[in-house]
Structure 1
């Protein structure tokens, strides 16, 4: 099969190997095979909702990308967003140096940048599927939905399944989810087709306005809204208002008491501007074993 190639250059430190190691440990990508050298996946491009296969390998100063169909500016921008290469990271080191706790976490994996979901739409669906479920079970359900309703794409001689586009889930039933979650997914599909669940729309808003708009969507609470904005749209400078797991990590890292308020966490995060999302990601990633020694998966 003919492939089409382009390169993406990082502004500031970037370690593609660290991104690969994160993907190997991230439950949302548990179904992806890995050879430790390339990131391969299939998804429905947000620019046109058509399936496309992608292979990413490391290159001097960035990455080399091969796609299964021609990649215009839209798709190039999406791949850049997925690897956070659409953000100038040259100032992040200075932010980390000013906060010794963050600096220690970054020092263990200095070139790791947030790895995002293939689209805000897919991030929103994951947020609904994983509610009141283990990440392992959620990953299996998401993969099953992709196999039933998504497209299969040949990537480097192997079949990869793309999670279905919004239009495919508008009237879909029998997804293996409770009726309420299936209704929420249909509502999210309508929002995506209306342009609400898109990177362009969400990144154009002030982070607090974007979070508020996302919380108004079906099945989306404070945690899910932060996930969609930060790990879906790839907004580099947002801080989730309510994420118990992140708060617990910060309590341990900064030696904070159990009754620390959300305002106090936001005050800590204010020192990370304009990279609040990146700093939050590094703290979470440290529990996956990506930064530093990696425990068994």
Structure 2
């Protein structure tokens, strides 16, 4: 089985990542509590499906432990996994690193706490937690379409049903997982319970965009933020909120402040003790968030996690 290792530029906790996924509705993550992160998903090449087990060594000398990956790569439509082609292992490793935000140098992240007590509190409450992303911009875009105008729990059930009915089933570290359908499969979808015809057509467009390379994570992150968001908003069913979700949590961009997410703005206002007028002014909040550079996405995720836990505890 192909394997690779990632050395986190601190901080990073795989255990925190797993806890995050357990509370992240779109992931429908419910697996054995053994410290292993099990993943099954379409590869960035839009032609393969990956199964991966992620483990982390215990921390030593205050440094995060090395993260170890064991994965298999299956060509879509093939009964068994073929031998790895040249460069495929590196591409798979890079995608997994992006999913758990280990493709970003986090060395400077702890220093934000020195000048911002809110960030200091978030880092203390969620040690080592980095954003856990959707597997790809493609999957994030598909989730945005599926979840439009329905409850998150209902959308998650539909998404999981699509994976079971049309995705590749893989054995990952002793568990059977179903990956979300690859773009070519989704593009041919004719009907599915819970999805309107409009959503089916929009999912076809998302799949086509992925196959044409228009949802490439590296390309989206390389563009100026507003340019990337504008290109995403050209996709049917993708508005400002969804475009930010795809860029931040699909492509894994580490430094974007969401302007179209009122719940985040309210969470930020609560954390900083801001008045209602400021909470309703994304531009003013964005100015405050400038102090989080180059980790604006990371701090925003921690604020959302705290806000969600507060709601859950009530």
- TM-score w.r.t. the length of structure 1 is 0.93
Gaps in structure 1 of 5+ consecutive residues = none
Q: CA deviation at 1:195?
A: 0.8
Deviates more, 1:125-134 or 1:80-89: 125-134
Kept in 1, the 8 Å contact 2:46–2:183? The answer is no
Q: CA deviation at 1:92?
A: 0.9
CA distance in structure 2 between the aligned counterparts of 1:140 and 1:235, rounded to whole angstroms: 27
Kept in 2, the 8 Å contact 1:82–1:115? The answer is yes
Residue in structure 2 matching 1:186, options 204, 207, 231:
204
Q: Deviations over 1:37-65 (max 9, x none)?
A: 11112111113531121101112533111
Q: CA deviation at 1:167?
A: 1.2
CA distance in structure 1 between the aligned counterparts of 2:32 and 2:138, rounded to whole angstroms: 24
Residue in structure 2 matching 1:58, options 56, 59, 62:
56
Q: Does 1:167 align with 2:184?
A: yes
Q: Secondary structure at the match of 1:240?
A: coil
**Whose relative contact order is higher, 1 or 2, with alpha carbons under 8 Å and at least 6 apart?**
1
Residue in structure 2 matching 1:263, options 258, 283, 298:
283
| 1:262-281 equivalence runs, <5 A | 262-281=282-301
CA distance in structure 2 between the aligned counterparts of 1:33 and 1:110, rounded to whole angstroms: 22
Gaps in structure 2 of 5+ consecutive residues = 59-64, 74-83
Q: Secondary structure at the match of 1:42?
A: strand
Q: CA deviation at 1:86?
A: 0.5
Q: CA deviation at 1:32?
A: 3.7
Q: Does 1:231 align with 2:255?
A: no
Residue in structure 2 matching 1:240, options 246, 258, 264:
258
Deviates more, 1:77-86 or 1:154-163: 154-163
Kept in 2, the 8 Å contact 1:149–1:163? The answer is yes
Aligned pairs, how many? 292
CA distance in structure 2 between the aligned counterparts of 1:34 and 1:240, rounded to whole angstroms: 34
Q: Secondary structure at the match of 1:256?
A: coil
CA distance in structure 2 between the aligned counterparts of 1:287 and 1:173, rounded to whole angstroms: 38
| 1:39-54 equivalence runs, <5 A | 39-54=37-52
Kept in 2, the 8 Å contact 1:31–1:143? The answer is no
Kept in 1, the 8 Å contact 2:21–2:29? The answer is no
- 1:11 corresponding residue in structure 2: 9
- TM-score w.r.t. the length of structure 2 is 0.88
Q: CA deviation at 1:201?
A: 1.4
Q: Secondary structure at the match of 2:277?
A: coil
CA distance in structure 1 between the aligned counterparts of 2:34 and 2:20, rounded to whole angstroms: 11
CA distance in structure 2 between the aligned counterparts of 1:35 and 1:287, rounded to whole angstroms: 25
Q: Secondary structure at the match of 1:172?
A: coil
Deviates more, 1:26-35 or 1:266-275: 26-35
The ranges of structure 1 where at least 4 consecutive aligned residues each deviate by more than 3 angstroms after the TM superposition are 293-296
